[in-house]
Amino acid sequence: MNHLFSDLTRFAAAILLLLLMLLGAVSEAQQPIAAFSYPKPEEEVRSFDDESPLWCPGTLTLALERIYKSGGGGHGIYSYQPLSESKVVTPLAVQEGRRSLDLEHRKQSQFFVSHFTWISRKIADDQTKWVYRFLYTQLPDIYLGELNILVMDNIPEQLDTKPFISIRTDNNIVTSTYADYSESNQYVAYVTGLTGQIDVYIKRLSEDIQVDETHPGLRVTENDGVDLASRWSPDGKHLAYHSVREEGGTSTSADIFMLRDVLTEDKKTLNPRSEEVRLTSSTLSETYPTWSPDSELIAFYSTELESDSIGQRQYTEMAGQRSEKRVHDLWVVKPGEPEPIKVAEQVHRQVKHGPVWFPSLRGLDGRHLIYTSGHYDKVYVLNVDEAMAKSGDAMPTLIEGLAGYQYKHITDLDCIKLNRSTVLLAYSAHNRDGQMRIYVERVKYTRRGGWRVTESIPPE
């Protein structure tokens, strides 16, 4: 009876919305948008949040992380094509419940599946299916996945996953995470605690899948600290990461570092002339660097230190769980320049993917960042070149009309270029029931220099 009442209620609501639309009472930007992540019938008894949307480069396929809050908990990564007719939701990696981890004797109840990144999408030799490849952390290992989707109807045909980094020693199971793949050099950068320190390693994607302590890849950082969130520059030459170093026997705040010219010219061995460059040094905790598309600038977050220990917080985030929900400031640094520049204040920090660089569009001059600011209720686009020229004193442009504004608390986002003047924006925000869902909307850059929502993708 309860299910019947619920179905009737939804049907009545749909009819009412249709009448309002026909009468012109509901504008395009106010229509429910959507998302694929509304509960299926078998999931209606479970409460969950969806977050961390991530577009597969060069495609219209989206990945997200789902966190179950009831039914014993759990965490999963799913893919979805919001513009396709089938709108099939495909689980890529799902773990029921939570798992107690011991990261350097710090026992935590953490999510088991996290830190997802796309590798590529290519057409199969027989031209009948798309082959998607991706990496993710299923603690304590990093996994390589392959999803085949039929070209004709966008229906998933096959999913295969296997360990890519799985390090074991005689006395310990070693945790590895933060995988990042470079199409330019075909190496995966990741962090692991093999030596007792958390360092950055790199490994060719084409090498043997299973590895052990004798062949974890190439170690590229070595220091008395914790190195996390390593990211390749788009040209495949450099690595950026944040690091908590030991100075005087105590942990300092996290700072941004860069490893310049990591590989030799043939991209087969480490460059003996590679050097580590410290890009920030302050009392702030500076984290999660991402590169501009031209490999010239690095964006990152800063925040004041909290009362909990730095090491504890870094290990918590290494396992894939947010340690706090405070706002942060957004900075940009150009390697070789003397000082970073703060370009935005009180932004939401994306701990899975870092700051998001906006794609280039017709009529949009310069390099741009997109972010959530204020009380998690507004999305802005900022001209970074203008901000740097004015020492951070530049006004961002608000994206008006997003459906997520009505329920507030917009957090993680990502966008991809759809055509010369339009992007497809995906973001997580509260729905009317207070649960996080993924919203998808087309946003167009206008001749007047503003942004306009032109379409909201309807719910499946």
* Spatial separation of the C-alpha atoms in residues 158 and 335, rounded to whole Å: 43
Residue 337 is predicted with a pLDDT of 84
Helix (H, G, I), strand (E, B) or coil at 63: strand
* Residue tagged 């900022």 (tokens): 382
Evaluate whether residue 72 is within a structural domain: no
Residue 311 is predicted with a pLDDT of 43
Evaluate whether residue 211 is within a structural domain: no
Low-confidence spans in the chain with pLDDT less than 70: 1-46, 71-72, 96-112, 207-215, 246-252, 305-327, 375-376, 404, 407-408, 458-460
Model confidence, pTM: 0.82
> Which tokens hold the place of 273?
């002339």
Q: In which domain, by residue range, is 457 found?
A: 356-460
Evaluate whether residue 378 is within a structural domain: yes
* Spatial separation of the C-alpha atoms in residues 135 and 100, rounded to whole Å: 22
Residue 327 is predicted with a pLDDT of 58
> Which tokens hold the place of 266?
């043939």
Residue 53 is predicted with a pLDDT of 94
Residue 2 is predicted with a pLDDT of 38
Evaluate whether residue 19 is within a structural domain: yes
Number of folded domains that form the chain: 2
Burial degree of 333 (CB within 10 A; 0-12, 13-18, 19+): buried
Evaluate whether residue 159 is within a structural domain: no
Helix (H, G, I), strand (E, B) or coil at 32: coil
Evaluate whether residue 172 is within a structural domain: no
User: For the segment 22-61, what is each residue's pLDDT rounded down to a tens digit?
Assistant: 233 323 333 323 333 333 434 444 688 889 999 999 899 9
Evaluate whether residue 307 is within a structural domain: no
Evaluate whether residue 387 is within a structural domain: yes
